[in-house]
Structure 1
Amino acid sequence: MGNYKINNPYYELYPNLNCAGKVLVNDVPVFSFLGQDSKDGILDGSVPINHIVLQSGKYKVVGKLLPRFGQKTLTENDGMNISFNLSDIDNWKETKHSFFPELNSPGPSFDKNNKITSPVKGLPFFEIAAEIEVELPFVLDGWQNSVDLSKIEKSIIKQKVLEFFIQIHALLKEHNASKFLELSKEKEDLQTKAFYFNSIRKQEVRDSIINLFNKKLDVLPLNEAELKLEFYGYGKLVSLVRLDGSSALQFKKNIAEGERNIELEVKLHARTLEKGLSII
């Protein structure tokens, strides 16, 4: 790393999953490998987290190892590691460096019969966790002070969330990008501040969403019996996911040709019960 001053810090994780699983920061999922996609192979990638931590402080990072699709328990081949990077958004190549030691699941070893085994083998799940500290030049108005939705009667909150998701699902089927962007404005504003977007970069993000909608892909149906409610952000965020843990909202791709469905991660919060739910 060169001797660069970091004016606009850009924090990111780089998870590598050799199993099904997900990674959470500040009790919010930021990376997942679930459902049929996790049947074989690995998944890795860079994940920005400025918009998840919201402000300077210490935050818990959790990696959840889960059995692959079609399996009930973990095997000796399953594993996960997470690296932690910091850079300046304007000089990311020159300033990128590790700000925290890599987090790893326990590796395989040989048992007394000289056979390969692992501490995670046979378990229904396994977690690795660490506490990181970040320093940011802003305090984002996210969901820190929103309503704890987990305290609302579950049948009531699930119905409200389902109604909101049905509304979004209809927009996906209609390929109505402008209305979707309108509903997502609160989230857009948050990410614009978190990643120091100028007007050009902000428009590029909007254009990428418009281009996706313009492909006019089919959408997976919403069936209430195949959905479950998930709370995140210590109860202040809520979403609907499929029973396999994948996103409720998905554009179909050609899975037979090795393509993955395009999942839209939608999380809701409520600043007040009177204002109701909104995308954040």
Structure 2
Amino acid sequence: MSVCFNCQKKEKNSNEIKKYKMEKNFIYGIDFNIATPFEILVNDAPVIKYNEEGSMSGFYPINELLINNKDQEISVRLYSEIGKEFIAEDISKYFSLKLVLSKDVNFEHFKEIQNIKIPEIIKNTPYIEYKYHFNIEVPYQLEGWINSVDLTKENKEALLKEVKMYYQKIYGILNKGDYSHYSKIISKRNHEVLVAYYDSEIIKKEQDELLERITTAQGKMKPIDFNKYNLKIYGNGRLVTLEDEKGDSPLFCITEEYEDYFGIILYRPALGAPLEVIR
């Protein structure tokens, strides 16, 4: 079930759709605390997926997903808890989702600009989606996937085969510890993320840490079992990725201390062009 919340409430609450003007070097994010399995997407691009028991909370910056100055969309998909047939009727008591503005990606200090609500009672459904629209002006322009190919019009079997081959190639690069090759593959993503966060030192540090991550991953990458992963198309048909039920990437290594995942989102920049990493 999918509900356009703003459309549903338009007559009674016309101020649900607001326009925000980005102040210089400010960062948009979402602040959430949700006590049921869920997904959050911005402009139909994945932000977070949670598919476990209990609640999940956190802050996520979303500037890199604001690829134009037009209408922006935040979607929240709610699912029933593990072992339960339906979403809890009173889940709204345990649901918080806010659009916030901060001066840095750590969100140490932030301003709430929209408190997103869901109905007080949700009856007899294992899944429901709500969409919220905002007109956000940002002081940068990302090409992103705006002019890319609509992948839903392609042959699904051929697309899946190409995606698997791409992941297998990336797996080999990471397992060899080939930082130079991998950094070239994700260069467009890195460039746009830096633009979206105004050359943030925090983002630069994260990108610099990639060398250490890939060095550590050398010889430790887990072989991909494609049976555990599904093809997912996002971005209104223009983004594609592989993920498991938890939303995790097939590209990961396991060390004695932690698991490290290398997530990628692909797009086709033009008809006949090969897939590339964009996020």
Q: Could you say whether these structures have the same fold, taking a TM-score greater than 0.5 normalized by the shorter chain as the test?
A: yes
Within-5 A mapping of 1:110-121:
119-120=122-123
Letter in 1 for 2:100: N
Tell me if the contact between 1:8 and 1:196 (Cα under 8 Å) persists in the aligned partners. yes
Tell me if the contact between 2:86 and 2:125 (Cα under 8 Å) persists in the aligned partners. yes
Number of residue pairs aligned between Structure 1 and Structure 2: 254
- 3-state SS of 1:146 partner: coil
Q: CA deviation at 1:266?
A: 1.0
- Which residue, 98, 103, 108 being the options, matches 2:112? 98
Alignment partner, residue 114 of structure 1: none
- 3-state SS of 2:214 partner: helix
Change (3 A) 1:250 1:19: farther
Identical amino acids, percent of aligned pairs: 23
- 3-state SS of 1:46 partner: strand
Is 1:27–2:41 an aligned residue pair?
no
Q: CA deviation at 1:59?
A: 1.3
Alignment partner, residue 160 of structure 2: 158
Letter in 1 for 2:205: E
Alignment partner, residue 42 of structure 1: 55
Deviations 1:4-32 (A, max 9, x none): x9312311111222121110110111111
* Between 158-167 and 63-72, the greater mean CA deviation after superposition: 63-72
Distance in 2 between residues matched to 1:276 and 1:6, nearest whole Å: 37
Gaps of 5+ in 1: 108-117
Distance in 2 between residues matched to 1:59 and 1:27, nearest whole Å: 10
Distance in 2 between residues matched to 1:104 and 1:262, nearest whole Å: 34
Change (3 A) 1:124 1:7: same
Within-5 A mapping of 1:50-65:
50-65=63-78
Is 1:15–2:58 an aligned residue pair?
no
CA RMSD, 1 decimal = 2.9
Change (3 A) 1:42 1:215: farther
Q: CA deviation at 1:91?
A: 12
Distance in 2 between residues matched to 1:201 and 1:245, nearest whole Å: 25
Tell me if the contact between 1:20 and 1:66 (Cα under 8 Å) persists in the aligned partners. yes
Letter in 2 for 1:87: S
- Which residue, 184, 187, 190 being the options, matches 2:189? 187
- Which residue, 117, 134, 137 being the options, matches 1:135? 137
Letter in 2 for 1:49: I
Tell me if the contact between 1:13 and 1:82 (Cα under 8 Å) persists in the aligned partners. yes
- 3-state SS of 1:11 partner: strand
In the superposition, the TM-score normalised over structure 2's length comes to 0.79
- 3-state SS of 2:64 partner: helix
Tell me if the contact between 1:87 and 1:97 (Cα under 8 Å) persists in the aligned partners. yes
Q: CA deviation at 1:93?
A: 5.6
- 3-state SS of 1:45 partner: strand
Distance in 2 between residues matched to 1:186 and 1:80, nearest whole Å: 35
Tell me if the contact between 2:50 and 2:246 (Cα under 8 Å) persists in the aligned partners. no
Change (3 A) 1:15 1:249: farther
Alignment partner, residue 86 of structure 1: 101
Change (3 A) 1:172 1:67: farther
Change (3 A) 1:262 1:33: farther
Deviations 1:141-193 (A, max 9, x none): 11001011111010111111111011112233334333222210010011011
Distance in 2 between residues matched to 1:251 and 1:66, nearest whole Å: 29
Deviations 1:250-276 (A, max 9, x none): 33478xx9x7x4433311011113331
Gaps of 5+ in 2: 1-21
